[in-house]
Structure formats: structure tokens, C-alpha cells
Structure 1
Amino acid sequence: MPSMAHEVLVDLFKTRPSLAAELLVEALGVPLPPYSGARLTSIDLTEIQPAEYRADLVVVLLDGDAPIWVLIVEVQLGIDPRKRYSWPDYTMGARAAHRCQVGLLVVAPDPHVAAWCAAPIETGIPGFVLRPPVLGREEVPVVTDAVEAARRPELAVLSALAHGSSEQGATIAAAVLPVIRELEEDRARFYCDLVLNSLNVAARRALEVIMKGYEYQSDFAKKYVALGRQEGRQEGRQEGERAILLRQLRARFGELPDAAVARVEGAESAALERWAERVLSAETLAEALDEPS
């Protein structure tokens, strides 16, 4: 079953059908013919094969109404040897279906997975060696310009996902967050979550400094920022409760196993309060954390 991270990346390319072609040219240097538009088409690449083949995304580049290039987009978060057989099949199936040239873009954020994806695929047919163009984390453009973020918000969000925890994370977020407010509310909320969750603590603090004094104009943005501040205060209280409880547990039972620390760090207020009441009277750690004996 596809993971949330997989679906998020697919959604960005689906929302802006031309994004894959733009990245092939701009980030990977793959030449494409001039085109006037891009549209999504069926992801079902099954022809006469007994197996069912479905790519993550299939985009057709158009010259007017005529297809001139079909581009298959695959998001790859792990190593899957089956893809070395299905990717050549995807490309030839799409070429036959659309009667035009075909391309492949593999999106692989993890460097180890990206290196595996980029290895040439020998098909056994002389001269037919598939060398998948791979968009790794480092190849994703760093978008810090607000004008560019406004022109291609999906690229700016992808940039935040790739580089949000780096030194440039706050600058990327500062460029894209004001743009997001102009999108329809559900997508704006979704993109806001993606961008903010991509930042590490240092980038979040830097973003607060960059955005200090910035006034959001839309009703949605004001509501979202207010909600974020409220959630931030609540999360801050919970972090304090977790830290205090961990100190109490260590004082009572000594060094804690990793599983117990993870359980406390992932707990919500109700559980934290319950465990805090038990920590002084419980005879064992398991009893304090109401674990089955």
C-alpha cells in the first residue's frame, strides 16, 4: 500500500501536470520538444500482459491537441527489484498507446534509493538500455524567490520538502507561505502543513524571525495562523509534561528502556496525566505506564 509520503509527492505532480517535464529539463538537463500544454492521462499501462501495470502518474505533453511526448512519473521511496522489469514495460506500453516519444522521471528523495534507481537497465535487446532520469533530493531546485513560488507553488512546496531541514529551509518557507494563502482553502491548509512539517527546529525559529511583523490578509490565513499558535501552545505544554514525567520515571526506576521513552514522547495529555498520578505509587515501570504484565 502506498505510504503518505508517496501520495504527497504524487499529488504535487498531479496538481501541476507540467512539473515533471519542467524538472526533467531544468534540474536534470533532459531535452524535450517544445509543447503548448500538459495533461494527465490514464495510469493503466496494461496491454496484453497478464499482469496489471499502473504507473504513479502519466502526463501527455501536447502540441495543440496532438500528443508529442508521454512522460511517466514514478515516486520511489525504497528499493524494489520488480521496477527494473516494469519500468521498461511502462515506457514501451505508453509509447504504443499514445504513438509518440516517451520519457520516464523517477522521484527518489533518499540518496541510496536514487543511486539504485539510476542504474542502467539492460533489457536484452541490443541498443535498448533504459537509463532512468532520477530526481533525488539534491536535484530539486531551491526556491527562495517569492515570484517563482507564486508561479509554481507545487515546485516551491517540493523544494520545502527536499530542503526544509537545511539552512535554506526558513527562506524557502518564507517565500512559499504567503503564496499558499491565495490557493483554495483545503489545498492551502495541506500545503501549509507540508511546508511547516518539513522544517527542523532551527528553521522554524529562523522563519519566525523572517516573518515577524508579516500580516496575513486572507481570512483563511489568519484563521490558520491562529490555529497554529494555539496548537503550538498546546504542544509546548505537552512537551513540558513529557519531560517532567520522564525525569520522575528515571528517578523512580532508573534508566528507562527505549520503548518506554518512545511511549512517553508519543503520548497525549490524558495518558501523561494518568501516568503522572501513578508514578509515585507504582511498584514497577510497567505498572506506572499501565502496560500489561
Structure 2
Amino acid sequence: MVSPPHEAMHRIFQHDPGLFSRVSRFLGVDIPTPVKATALPTDLTETNPVERRVDTLLRLETADRGPFLLAVEAQGKKHPDKPASWAYYTAYLWTKYRLPTALLVVCQDHATARWAQQPVTCGPPQLPTLTVQPLVAGPHNMPVITDPEEARADLVLASLAAITHAAEPDVGAILKALSTALRDAPEDIAKPLIEFTAQGLAKRPAKNLWRNLVAVDLSFYKSYLAEEVRQEVRQEVRKEVRDEVRKEVQDEALTQGEARRAAADVLAVLAERGLTVSEAVRERIDSCDDPEILSRWLRRAVTASTAEEVVAGA
């Protein structure tokens, strides 16, 4: 089954084909920025029933080196059959399109990256007819971008850096730099990168950090991830409020200190929901010492559309 990190690691190159030229400098090669890029069909199936598909396939054209093919493979773990598949992909694409073919493998851990970049030959040792040695991008060579200004200079590369360092100690600083940089980006640029990054982190612990950053730093974007986080926050707030109201109903009376806490709870719920609280409304809530009124306002705060609606009519 194809996982979200697998999709993110190669589809980000479909989103921005020029990313490969920027990544190449970290891989020890210098690929010019393409002047033209075309996404090609990824189905490499022949007339026989064996189906073979490369993850992403791009036709890139540069000003001084001419066109070439770039096959991007996302690799989550070591697999003994993969080198043979990669050899098939490159040989088939070379034969079909008659263009030089490059293979980039994107990984998220050091062990898989070391394995993927080892040369593998078909044929006996004295006759290495075909050698497969892809370029490999992973945590061992992708930049650690923790400066928002550096992230802002290349948002797509910063997203790829976060994906490839998903299990690394620096991922939190990378994600914070990326979320900060995305605040100033137009929504049509920021939204796909928010989702790519979320996919790439998958079930790793950093996924929760990214969700929180999206909910706070990028709360104005209407992405599925941001909405999912907001919905969870709303559900948690409702549960906390129900528990608090139940407790208050069981109490015979609130002390003065408890009244202050209840008023603080009302304001906390309004703040959590992002509702604007005027000074007049805040003063009315803070000065109220009636337990029944505060409990009623607390219940209203969960669903009210404005802060004024909470205290309307007492």
C-alpha cells in the first residue's frame, strides 16, 4: 500500500520540476535549471502482464545540455528487488524515449540512503554489463534549513528538507522555519506545501508538531490539515466544557475563587475559538460572581458566534 510519505517524497518534484536542479548541488552534481519541464506517463508496463511503474517521471530541458529524463523514486526502506527494478526503469526509458535518463531516489533515513547509493551491477564481476547507481537525496545530504529567511528563499526545498529529515533531531527547527516562511506566501503557493509536508511526516512524532504549527502559525489557510486540527481543538474544548459544567452542577455553590476560575474558563473558551472579546464584555465576565450565570455563559461560549452573544440577556 502506498504511504503518504512515499507520495510526498516524489510528487513534490512534479509540483516543482526545477527543484531537482536545486537539489543536485547537495548531491555532488551540477544540473542547470530547466527551461522547460514536462510530466510524462509513469506506466512502464510492457505487453506482458508484468506491471511496472516509476513514481514520478519528468522530461527536463536545460539551456546548455539539452533534454533528459528524470525518474524519481521514493524509498522508505531497503528492498533487495529494487536495484533490478531501477535498472529496468532506466534501460526501458532510455530505449523508449532515446534520451539520457537520470534516477533520483529520495529517502528519509540514513540506512536506506546508504543502501540505495551503493552501485549494483548485473552480470558477473568481470563483466559488469550494467551498473545502477542512482543519485540519492536523504537526511545525509539534504540541507538543514532552520532560518526562516533561507526557507523563504526556496519554500519547496525547505519542504523537502523537512520531509527528508522527518526522523532527525533538527526537524522541529526546520518545521518552525518553514511555517514562519509560509506566513508571507500566497495561499496557492503555501497550501500544497503544507499538505506535502504533512504527508511526508506521516505518523512520525514530528507530524503532531507540524499540525500544531499549521493550526497556530498558518491558521488562516483553509487546508484539510488545518481544518482537521481546528476540529479536534473544538471537540477538545467542548469536552472540557462539558466536564467543567458537570462538575459545577454537582457543586452546591462556587466560592469566590471558583467564580474567578469560571470567569477565566469562559474567556479561555472564547480565546480558543478565536472570538474577539471587547473590553466591555471582558469586564462583565470578570466582574460576575453569580455561579449560575457563569455556568450559563460557559455553555454559550462553546457555540456562540460572537462574545457579545455569550453575555446577552445574562
Q: Distance in 1 between matches of 2:234 and 2:94?
A: 54
* Residue 130 of structure 1, aligned match among 129, 132, 137: 132
* Residue 163 of structure 1, aligned match among 154, 162, 165: 165
Q: Distance in 2 between matches of 1:120 and 1:6?
A: 23
Equivalent residues of 2:9, 2:200 under 8 A apart? no
CA 1:56 to 1:230, structure 2 compared with 1: closer, same or farther past 3 Å? closer
Q: Runs of 5+ in structure 2 lacking a partner?
A: 241-314
Equivalent residues of 1:165, 1:198 under 8 A apart? no
Say if 2:41 is the partner of 1:36: no
Q: Deviations over 1:89-141 (max 9, x none)?
A: 11111112222211111112132222322222212264531112222222221
SS of the residue 1:72 aligns to: strand
Say if 2:183 is the partner of 1:183: no
Aligned to 2:18: 18
SS of the residue 1:139 aligns to: coil
Say if 2:144 is the partner of 1:142: yes
What amino acid does structure 1 have at the position aligned with 2:195?
F
Q: Runs of 5+ in structure 1 lacking a partner?
A: 240-293
Equivalent residues of 2:57, 2:70 under 8 A apart? yes
Say if 2:88 is the partner of 1:98: no
Q: Distance in 1 between matches of 2:89 and 2:142?
A: 24
Equivalent residues of 2:69, 2:99 under 8 A apart? yes
What amino acid does structure 2 have at the position aligned with 1:22?
R
What amino acid does structure 2 have at the position aligned with 1:142?
V
Equivalent residues of 1:60, 1:67 under 8 A apart? no
Q: Distance in 2 between matches of 1:51 and 1:222?
A: 38
Equivalent residues of 1:71, 1:102 under 8 A apart? yes
SS of the residue 1:69 aligns to: strand
Q: TM-score, normalised by structure 2?
A: 0.58
Q: Distance in 2 between matches of 1:50 and 1:35?
A: 35
Q: Deviations over 1:3-32 (max 9, x none)?
A: 222122222222112223432x22211343
What amino acid does structure 1 have at the position aligned with 2:116?
C
Q: Distance in 2 between matches of 1:44 and 1:5?
A: 21
Equivalent residues of 2:9, 2:163 under 8 A apart? no
Q: Distance in 2 between matches of 1:192 and 1:34?
A: 23
CA 1:234 to 1:163, structure 2 compared with 1: closer, same or farther past 3 Å? farther
Q: Distance in 2 between matches of 1:35 and 1:20?
A: 9
Q: Distance in 2 between matches of 1:129 and 1:87?
A: 10
Aligned to 1:265: none
Equivalent residues of 2:21, 2:33 under 8 A apart? no
Query: Which has the bigger relative contact order, CA under 8 A and spacing at least 6?
Result: 2
SS of the residue 1:77 aligns to: coil
Q: In the TM superposition, what is the alpha-carbon distance from 1:221 to its structure 2 partner?
A: 7.2
Q: Percent of aligned pairs with the same residue?
A: 30
Q: Distance in 1 between matches of 2:112 and 2:201?
A: 25
What amino acid does structure 2 have at the position aligned with 1:128?
L
Q: In the TM superposition, what is the alpha-carbon distance from 1:70 to its structure 2 partner?
A: 0.7
**73-82 or 171-180, which moves further after superposition?**
171-180
Q: TM-score, normalised by structure 1?
A: 0.62
CA 1:79 to 1:235, structure 2 compared with 1: closer, same or farther past 3 Å? farther
Q: Distance in 2 between matches of 1:144 and 1:129?
A: 37
What amino acid does structure 2 have at the position aligned with 1:38?
A
Q: Distance in 2 between matches of 1:226 and 1:33?
A: 39
Say if 2:10 is the partner of 1:5: no
Give the 5 Å matches for 1:1-293.
Answer: 1-23=1-23, 25-32=24-31, 35-47=34-46, 51-63=50-62, 68-124=67-123, 126=128, 128-163=130-165, 166-181=168-183, 182-184=186-188, 187=192, 190-191=195-196, 193=198, 219-220=220-221, 228=229, 231-232=232-233
Q: Distance in 2 between matches of 1:30 and 1:98?
A: 23
Q: Distance in 2 between matches of 1:37 and 1:147?
A: 28
Q: In the TM superposition, what is the alpha-carbon distance from 1:222 to its structure 2 partner?
A: 12
Equivalent residues of 1:177, 1:192 under 8 A apart? no
The number of aligned residues is 231
